[in-house]
């Protein structure tokens, strides 16, 4: 078995702002479909998981946007309107 599987894959992750926004919208839609009063334990767990993940992705997106605004040299291709590399966040 390979022990370096986790570390090597984690470094290669890259997110785009548009991708994060789409993921957040999907998670929020999942929560909206369940509604204010989940009918089952599964739905309660689904709402909690989706809410937690959406919150985490929102934080990653905010950090990426702040990094882009500040002109952080770690971000390659700092052109206006481009997607953001958030591989170092989290």
3-state secondary structure of 19: helix
pLDDT score for 59 = 96
Residue 78 has pLDDT above 60, yes or no: no
For residue 37, count other CB atoms closer than 10 A to its CB. Answer: 7
What pLDDT is stored for residue 74 in this prediction?
A: 59
Give the mean pLDDT of 85-89. 53
pLDDT tens column, 27-43? 999 999 999 999 999 99
Q: Long-range CB contacts (< 8 A, 24+ apart) of 47-52?
A: 51/27
Write out pLDDT tens, residues 45-76: 999 999 999 999 999 999 989 988 887 655 55
Does residue 4 surpass a pLDDT of 70?
Answer: no
Q: Which two tokens stand for residue 86?
A: 């958030």
pLDDT given at position 71 = 79
Q: Find the mean pLDDT for residues 15-38.
A: 94
Extract the tokens encoding 84: 């953001």
Q: What share of the chain is helix, strand, coil (3-state, %, to 5)?
A: 60, 0, 40
């Amino acid at each position: 078995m390979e022990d370096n599987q986790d570390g090597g894959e984690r470094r290669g992750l890259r997110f785009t702002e548009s991708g994060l926004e789409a993921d957040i919208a999907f998670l929020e839609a999942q929560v909206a479909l369940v509604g204010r009063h989940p009918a089952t334990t599964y739905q309660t767990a689904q709402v909690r998981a989706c809410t937690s993940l959406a919150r985490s992705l929102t934080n990653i997106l905010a950090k990426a946007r702040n990094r882009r605004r500040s002109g952080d040299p770690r971000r390659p291709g700092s052109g206006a309107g481009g997607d953001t590399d958030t591989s170092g966040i989290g």
